[in-house]
Copies of this chain bind each other. A is one copy, B any other.
Amino acid sequence: MEYMYNELLKTSGLSVTQQRLSILNALSNFNQPATIEQLAQTIDIHINTSTIYRSLRVLVDAGIVYQTDFRDGVSYFEFQEDHHHHVVCTSCGKQERIDVCIGTHVPKIEKSTGYTITNHMLEFFGLCKNCS
């Protein structure tokens, strides 16, 4: 497991540090997007908050971690490989997973813009059954 993350970092050209390994390990304990605060509570060693922020940015930019936003003022993070999207109720905040895939658009966009796309962000907002 640890070894896996080790390879993951190296393959992306990133330095392998204990902090990054621990962050990845903590991420694997969530099956939904986690906030920085939630991650900090789960990480097995003490890591300074700034470091968590900096590490996550690097991991997101490398396409290893998925970052998203539910319009509640905090960033959420999830493993890229099993990331998924949500509908969020703008009234009560309730979230529900959906299995909409947007990945098929990526090659087309890369071709038309010349960008190398490492990740994306997709969330739907509206009113849930109760709040409607």
Contacts and interface: CB of A to CB of B under 8 A. Distances in A.
A33 B113 CA distance: 19
Contact of A129 (B61, B87, B115): B115
Interface in A75-99: 75, 87, 89-91, 96, 98
Contacts of A120: 122-125
A106 B96 CA distance: 14
Range of interface residues on A (Cβ < 8 Å): 35 or more
Contacts of A114: 128-129
Given A69-B121, A100-B109, A115-B128, 13 more contacts: A60-B90, A60-B125, A67-B71, A87-B117, A98-B113, A106-B124, A109-B124, A116-B132, A118-B126, A119-B124, A120-B124, A121-B122, A121-B125
